[in-house]
């Protein structure tokens, strides 16, 4: 299952002294893509948290190909690798306005019980959305 975000513009505050987008922002872009996708599917992250569904990132990796600069337009493609169980495993590809690959990455999110902070199975309603 795959989703591509709307176009996003790089803001000046996201760049560093070298005029590149600072590496820490890429994880924020990945999160933005996940949340946009969930919203498009009719899933509210805020409502999930209110229902006691915790989904922390437990693993993240990034591979940078070429920099993004202030004013560049980009999109993030996010793909769910497997059917959710106790984790969600996502791959990402960020491309610029020239359709060049800027960055590839992966995150793994775990479903945690709010009471025990131990892993739990993916909630049924979310499993149905990703099926």
List helix spans (H) across the chain. 25-40, 45-50, 124-130
99 pLDDT more than 80: yes
Range of the domain at 33: 2-130
pTM metric for this prediction: 0.92
What CATH number is attached to the domain comprising 37? 3.10.129.10
- Among 55, 64, 53, smallest CA distance to 27 is for 64
Residues 73-86 pLDDT 10s: 999 999 999 999 99
CA dihedral 9, 108, 83, 104 (to 10 degrees): 40
How far, in Å, CA of 82 to CA of 65, rounded? Answer: 25
Lowest-pLDDT range of 21-25, 37-41, 49-53, 65-69: 49-53
Q: Which of the four pLDDT bands, split at 50, 70 and 90, describes residue 51?
A: confident
For residue 107, the tally of other CB atoms under 10 A from its CB is: 20
5, 56, 60, 72, 125 from 89: Cα distances, Å: 18, 12, 10, 28, 18
The burial of 76, by beta-carbon neighbours within 10 Å (0-12 exposed, 13-18 middle, 19 or more buried), is given as buried
* Least confident window among 7-11, 77-81, 121-125: 121-125
Annotated active-site positions, please?
A: 16
Average pLDDT over residues 24-40: 96
Cβ-based neighbour number of residue 78 at 10 Å: 25
pLDDT confidence bin for 100, thresholds 50/70/90: very high
Rounded CA-CA distance 65/83 in Å is 29
Number of domains in the chain: 1
């Amino acid at each position: 299952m795959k989703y591509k975000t709307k176009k996003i513009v790089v803001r000046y505050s996201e760049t560093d002294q070298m005029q590149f987008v600072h590496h820490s922002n890429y994880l924020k872009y990945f999160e933005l893509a996940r949340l946009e996708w969930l919203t498009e599917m009719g899933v509210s992250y805020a409502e999930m948290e209110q229902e006691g569904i915790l989904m922390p990132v437990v693993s993240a990796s990034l591979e940078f190909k070429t920099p993004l600069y202030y004013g560049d337009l980009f999109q993030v493609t996010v793909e769910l690798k497997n059917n959710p169980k106790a984790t969600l495993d996502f791959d990402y590809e960020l491309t610029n306005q020239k359709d060049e690959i800027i960055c590839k990455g992966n995150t793994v999110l775990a479903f945690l019980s709010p009471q025990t902070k131990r892993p739990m199975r993916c909630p049924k309603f979310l499993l149905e959305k990703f099926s």
